[in-house]
Amino acid sequence: MASPREERYTYEDCKRTADMLLSKTKHRPRVAIICGSGLGGLADLLMDQVVFEYSKIPNFPKSTVLGHAGKLIFGNLSGTPTVVMQGRFHMYEGYPLWKVTFPVRIFHLIGVETLIVTNAAGGLNPDYKVGDIMVIRDHINMPGFAGQNPLMGPNEERFGVRFPAMSDAYNKELRKMALSVGAEIGCADILREGVYCALGGPNYETIAECSFLQRLGVDAVGMSTVPEVIVARHCGMRVFGFSLITNKSVLDYESKEKASHAEVLEASHHSARTLEKLVSLMVQRIERNNNLA
């Protein structure tokens, strides 16, 4: 059996994938967006699209989850060169975290400066409702407590330092911008700001686990996002994240409610248009600020 070091893609492997993509499109994205379950409609807003099936990209994993289309789409969003992942990868699909986060390395190598991550999440905060959008202020990396981290193994200095800080994982200025844009488009009443916790999945949380996480100060819980954020920050990208609250976590032993992926997709469908408008205007504002810098 090969060792973890032998299995990992090298910097040169990542560079070959990045160079292949750049050779097949004129777009040079400065913003990348990773779409969560049911949120792939963001890609439909891109103009002048160049589409790559994940299966046709060297070293890319394949997305196996319903609601994740498995396409990498280059184009212009609100006039900004952007690349969108229409579907992400997860540890519960059987992929090691260094492979789950491989696309983030590619984004860095093709020149992306800002990563926007979106996800569908269960609401733990009692004030949250299905359809609310949570701006991620911070996260708890629960698999990391058990030694599951995408940065494990030899460090590649060409990507980043051995011990990257995470106290500023989610860019403060972009969080402020999101709340401001939300107020402008009339969705301030569904915008929240809170802490996201990543679990390994694929099962949903027990009632005891939900109670435990709530006591830790977790506002929303899911099975993704955090590994990608860690790698993006390791590469020096600035990061912004949204969680779409698609279900309320069950906290009552007498409740007959059960979380289901179908429920998540249905809730995503109803609220995705608001999230798409918010992200689109965010990208426009990011580009404008970059031009003023």
Query: Above 90 in pLDDT, residue 80?
Result: yes
Q: Tell how far CA 109 is from the center of its chain.
A: 18
What is the mean pLDDT of the segment spanning 78-104? 94
From CA 12, how far away is CA 84, in angstroms rounded? Answer: 23
State the DSSP H helix or E strand holding residue 18, giving kind and residue range, or none if neither: helix 11-23
Query: Above 70 in pLDDT, residue 47?
Result: yes
Percentage of the chain modeled with pLDDT above 70: 90
pTM for this predicted structure: 0.92
Pick 52 or 276 by higher pLDDT: 52
Listed range (112-126, 179-193, 200-214, 245-259) with the worst mean pLDDT: 245-259
Digit-coded pLDDT (tens) for 161-172 = 999 999 999 999
pLDDT of residue 293: 45
Q: pLDDT tier at 4 (50, 70, 90 boundaries)?
A: very low
Pick 75 or 256 by higher pLDDT: 75
Give the active site residues: 37, 68, 90, 92-93, 120, 223-224, 247, 261
Query: Above 70 in pLDDT, residue 152?
Result: yes
Digit-coded pLDDT (tens) for 244-264 = 998 888 887 777 676 666 666
What is the mean pLDDT of the segment spanning 72-90? 94
From CA 170, how far away is CA 118, in angstroms rounded? Answer: 13
Q: What is the DSSP letter of 224?
A: S
Listed range (89-98, 139-148, 240-249, 253-262) with the worst mean pLDDT: 253-262
From CA 292, how far away is CA 286, in angstroms rounded? Answer: 10
Assigned fold of 4-292: Rossmann fold (3.40.50)
Residue with the two structure tokens 């051995």: 162
Say which amino acid occupies 156.
E
pLDDT of residue 99: 95
From CA 141, how far away is CA 71, in angstroms rounded? Answer: 27
Listed range (10-24, 59-73, 218-232) with the worst mean pLDDT: 59-73
Q: Tell how far CA 174 is from the center of its chain.
A: 15
From CA 135, how far away is CA 206, in angstroms rounded? Answer: 25
From CA 235, how far away is CA 155, in angstroms rounded? Answer: 12
Longest CA span, the chain = 58
Q: pLDDT tier at 149 (50, 70, 90 boundaries)?
A: very high
pLDDT of residue 269: 66
Domain limits, the chain: 4-292
Closest CA to 60 of 29, 100, 92: 100
Q: pLDDT tier at 157 (50, 70, 90 boundaries)?
A: very high
Residue with the two structure tokens 């990773």: 34
Cα pseudo-dihedral 42, 43, 46, 52, rounded to 10: 170
pLDDT of residue 220: 98
Report CA-CA distances (Å) from 255 to 207, 250, 251, 264.
10, 7, 8, 18
Give backbone dihedrals phi and psi of 4, rounded to 5 degrees, phi first: -55, -35
Q: pLDDT tier at 182 (50, 70, 90 boundaries)?
A: very high
Closest CA to 107 of 215, 34, 198: 34
From CA 232, how far away is CA 85, in angstroms rounded? Answer: 14
Burial bucket for residue 220 (CB in 10 Å: 0-12, 13-18, 19+): buried
pLDDT of residue 1: 38
What is the mean pLDDT of the segment spanning 253-277? 71
